[in-house]
Amino acid sequence: MLLLQQIVNGLLIGAVYALFATGLSLTLGVLRIMNMAHGVTISIAAITGVEVAAHFGLPFPLLLIMGGLVGAFVGVVSETIVFGPLRRSRSHDSHSREFSTLLGSLALLTILQSLAQIYTFDYTDDQILRFPTDVFKSRIVSLGGIEVRTISLVMFAVAVVLSGLVWWVMRWTQAGRAARAVAADHEAASMLGIDVTRYAYVIIGSAGALAGVAGILIGIAFNSVDYLIGSAYLLRGFAVLILGGIGSVPGALVGGLTLGLAEGLTVHFIDSSWVDAVAFGLLFVVLVVRPQGMFGKLEVDRA
Amino acid sequence: MMATLAVLGFDGTAQTLLELALLNALMAYSGYVVVAGGSFSLAFVAFIGLGAYTAAILSLDHSIGFLPALIIAPILAALGALVLAKPLERLSGVYLALVSVAVISVFRVLLLNFDSLTGGALGKSGIRPRIGTQELIVGAVVVVALFALIYRSMVGRAMRLVRADPLVAASMGVNVRRLRLWLFVASAALGAIGGVFRAYYTGFVVPGDYGFELLITLLAMVILGGVGHWTGPLIGAALWTLLPQWLDPLGLWRDVATGGILLLIILLLPQGISGGVRTVVHKARRRFQVRGSSEEEHTIALAEAAADEAGSDMVQPGGDLVRAPAAGLDGLT
């Protein structure tokens, strides 16, 4: 029964990994940006969420929307000051542009994380912020002997619904088709009249929004928010990305659940201190055995 | 205690700054090796950690000193790199960067969990005797001289060409895969040497010192200095070491400023300082028709200047993007 409990716990947290990784996957798949600053979005959204909840008493659903807006804002700012200028820069060739983008996101990570640190440093003694307890009154329900917190169930539901939404948009709408065209070839897409710059904003904004929602959910579920809260999710997000395949939305969902499950099993059979190693061991194995991930198409990279 | 403070950047004496700059340069060259070969393999940080921990374990548990560690650690790292290279060689671009992130993370978990060997979260301290300015100067001079020699050699030219365009390099007879494999192994060995120096300079090792912060710092140094020239990491390490001192009055805002400066460099000076200086020099030379010391050297210099600009996508009037990679070829022939 304890094993089953760990499996369920793993799947529930895995949904959040999926939610976060979906955004990471979109930015990498469509825009070729390996955004190391994506994790900070979680921290910033969660910190803002605590402040807003404490001062204005925003109800839970509005808090989620606000988290999404804050995340989208972080994304748009990143695109405006870092990724957009680098994409248009003429002094970079395609290889050095990819590399500069990676470095640019590292610089962005340093800036945003330090800002978050400064904010929390001034504000509290232990630098840990907590949501007011009445934001979401989580109860424990028993499902056939397995105990689950209601917040975890909400977290799971929100993650699955949002992932489904993103998948539907990408698969069936005109905007999704355009985004996939951009993913295939920036230049060809722009020749076909697709405004790549606009789609870059939409994609990064949406990715930020997903991370923002994840930030609020994580902040409430674990009720401990600090400026580093997102970094653990960033690493897991990359693992999920590789597991599921870059650019694949269902892949991110399945990858997230798989990672959550693997972590649950690790806690049960080995020890919680090995959780990180198992996540990345899994990543490593997938890259060697099936580099395109579970759902990705094989991409032939130049040289 | 003084050394601890110094490593954290609190002691501002000129000698300490010199020592830190040399130490950082030693480690930065490990990153330079892979980046200059156009690879995204960022796992060198883990090999720096491997070197540092090897030195610490040898010194504290087996009474094996600095010089033997300088030989043993790079051999271990090179072997590790060879093992790791097999699964990695099929990957490139962001995939490689992602796996590097994984390697660095797994390395940290291993350090934390094998605490009988590594000392766990507390690490290991009391590595004696500590090294000082002389050893660091000797180490840095040897490494920099090595890179100055490599730069002019066939290997150095092949590296620059592979970074500019791997396909063109392959068509010129460069075995891109093998070159990158050996650069990866060399980077690991060099990183381990840097790690040994760091362990013996600070006197302690802790897991947190060999993670993403070190990666960001070293990459910043490499990029600031410029990957196109052998002086790059040295320039980058010197400036990046001084930077926190200059920004000290900003207090908590220092890290924000550091990130902002890094961002500005990436946006405005993508070839780094050495690249910027070289571009200016070459332009001046071309304008005044000043020849190099010999005809051949002049040709190479011009070809390299062209190679620096070669990769850039040149936007034609029609809006088509045309790549012009072939301009760097003269440098090889």
The share of chain B scoring above pLDDT 70, in percent, equals 83
Judged by CB atoms closer than 8 Å, whether chains meet at A280 and B106 is answered as: yes
CA dist A222 and A203 (Å) reads 28
Judged by CB atoms closer than 8 Å, whether chains meet at A104 and B266 is answered as: yes
> In 3D, which of A72, A88, A89, A81 has the Cα closest to residue A105?
A81
Q: Is the pLDDT of residue A115 over 50?
A: yes
Q: What is the pLDDT of residue B222?
A: 86
Judged by CB atoms closer than 8 Å, whether chains meet at B259 and A111 is answered as: yes
Nearest CA in chain B to A100: B266
Q: Is the pLDDT of residue A207 over 80?
A: yes
Question: A95-109, B153-167, B251-265, B293-307: which has the minimum mean pLDDT?
Answer: B293-307
Question: A125-134, B142-151, B194-203: which has the minimum mean pLDDT?
Answer: A125-134
Most confident of A264-278, B34-48, B273-287: B34-48
- A154–chain B nearest CA distance, Å: 30
Residue B297 binned pLDDT confidence (cut-offs 50, 70, 90): low
pLDDT tens column, A165-200: 998 988 888 888 888 888 888 888 888 888 888 888
Dump the DSSP string for B113-128: H-HHHH-GGG-EE---
Question: A30-34, A100-104, B188-192, B297-301: which has the minimum mean pLDDT?
Answer: B297-301
- Across the range B191-220, mean pLDDT stands at 86
Q: What is the pLDDT of residue A73?
A: 95
> In 3D, which of A134, A89, A105 has the Cα closest to residue A234?
A105
Q: Which residue has the tokens 């912060």?
A: B213
Identify which has the larger pLDDT, B178 or A110.
A110
In chain B, what residues touch A106 (CB-CB under 8 Å)?
Answer: 216, 219, 262
Write down the H helix ranges in chain A: 2-31, 38-56, 60-78, 84-88, 94-123, 150-172, 174-184, 186-191, 196-222, 231-244, 249-269, 275-289
E strands within chain B? Answer: 124-125, 204-205, 314-315, 321-322
Judged by CB atoms closer than 8 Å, whether chains meet at B92 and A115 is answered as: no
pLDDT tens column, B130-181: 888 888 888 888 888 888 888 888 888 888 887 777 788 788 877 777 788 8
Burial class from Cβ neighbours inside 10 Å (0-12, 13-18, 19+) for residue A152 reads: buried
Instruction: Provide the mean pLDDT of chain B.
Output: 77
CA dist A1 and A152 (Å) reads 19
In chain B, what residues touch A100 (CB-CB under 8 Å)?
Answer: 266, 270
Contacts 24+ apart (CB under 8 A), B304-307: B304/B160, B304/B228, B304/B278, B304/B328, B304/B331, B305/B278, B305/B279, B306/B330, B307/B160, B307/B161, B307/B164, B307/B331
Distances (CA, A) of A107 to A126, B39, B267: 26, 20, 11
- A242–chain B nearest CA distance, Å: 8
pTM of this prediction?
Answer: 0.80
Q: Are B18 and B133 in contact (CB under 8 A)?
A: yes
Q: What is the pLDDT of residue B305?
A: 55
